[in-house]
Structure 1
């Protein structure tokens, strides 16, 4: 029992570290986007992370059936949409609100499972879902006077992240974590490249943006590594609510760098969404 407790403690530490590192990714991405287009940033972060992972794949390649490649593509597409729309939203709404909407991914997971597996949402799950989406409504404030379409863009990033979460779990029993990440970054590179040219942007990186792209790449890779470690040490029922501390880190950076202070509706939304995730994870733990 004491060994299990130690593993859970390590999982909590890794989750907090992951949340902090990913808040640095968002901070650096928001700064980089003042100099380059979002699609260009996604392209280069994908290229560099794929190059970091390529040596780790030596001797690990195996022939995969078409069914596995389909899941790989869905996971990669979900991750691509998640980052692309998250970065787009960072340009137009405060960092804390974009991060808060992205953390709504667990609320979207049951609907992704419904679409992919035709598994109906249990009645017991509707209470936390309703509480969570009330929180989303507080953040978005969908009234003619307050509706900002970029909040909806931020929420789409949560849908993409939810798709990547579900499909990552589907892949976890069939392929290694390195393969999942490498394929994701490779596909993300391919998807972002035509988007760069369709938008009339350039792949060239000015000298003053290289440090920010370097920080995005390094923190993204480290964050993914810590994320995998967290789930190795502790169950999802622990990791999911603890990872919400990332919103606090994002709130701090938003205040310290841009002077953004969440309004009362954003704070109410934050409390509702966190309560929803907490209720869901407690329910999952009880079922386990």
Structure 2
């Protein structure tokens, strides 16, 4: 039992730090989507992340990249890419805190996907928690009858795909080293991002590069923290801590865009 408590404590620290850095990235991305398409931000983000792994790739060579679970890497990569792409699309159109709240419906969705994928049973208390969780999200988003747009739906997709990513990251972390998980995630995401970025590319203003570099390197740090968190504890134990991201996003939205 003491070992488990220590693991959960470490995982919680990593999870909260992940939420903090991810919120800073979200704020930078909202700024960037005013100058370029979200697909361009996503593509450059993953290119920088993959380049950051270059020293490790050179060090381990081909033997260090061989995996016995390529299917899991592919699913995790597609889910992770879809999460960021839909999140960035939503950030450009709705309040930062709303986009963050919708993305952070992931912990509510984790039990549902765990049931579909692995057959993990959802008890009546768990089911009640899911219903109340979604009711709370709807109430916060629409406290006075304000309209919910298509962009809110896209933001919710980021939560669904993040839930899948959480589950498969935990599965991969049982047998795969952190950098190998990141390598296949970045590679898959870059491959998916590039065609969309080329279609929507209209040039990048010089003033945007500092924020782009910040996003790229910060996402790398976020993913390292994220992987470490799910190495130390299962998704359903620490996923609720991602709600710290809503608090951080609310503060940043208030500071920079006067969004309450």
| TM-score, length-scaled by structure 1 | 0.79
Cross-structure match for 1:51: 51
Unaligned runs of 5+ in 2: none
Cross-structure match for 1:183: 184
After the TM superposition, which of the residue ranges 216-225 and 41-50 deviates more from structure 2? 216-225
Shift of residue 112, structure 1, vs aligned partner: 2.0
Contact 2:47–2:190 under 8 Å retained in 1: yes
Cross-structure match for 1:257: 256
Offset from partner CA, 1:114-159 (integer Å, 9 cap, x none): 3333445333310111111112322454999612111111100001
Q: Distance in 1 between matches of 2:137 and 2:90?
A: 15
Offset from partner CA, 1:7-47 (integer Å, 9 cap, x none): 65554443333222111110111111111111111111011
RMSD: 2.7
1:171-210 equivalences in 2 (<5 Å) = 171-197=172-198, 200-202=199-201, 204-210=203-209
Offset from partner CA, 1:233-275 (integer Å, 9 cap, x none): 66756643333222111101100100001xxxxxxxxxxxxxx
Q: Distance in 1 between matches of 2:155 and 2:240?
A: 20
Q: Distance in 2 between matches of 1:77 and 1:237?
A: 21
Cross-structure match for 2:161: 160
- Count of aligned pairs between the two proteins: 257
Contact 1:76–1:183 under 8 Å retained in 2: yes
Shift of residue 71, structure 1, vs aligned partner: 1.4
1:136-285 equivalences in 2 (<5 Å) = 136-141=137-142, 146-197=147-198, 200-202=199-201, 204-231=203-230, 239-261=238-260
Q: Distance in 2 between matches of 1:117 and 1:230?
A: 21
| TM-score, length-scaled by structure 2 | 0.87
1:67-106 equivalences in 2 (<5 Å) = 68-106=69-107
Unaligned runs of 5+ in 1: 262-288
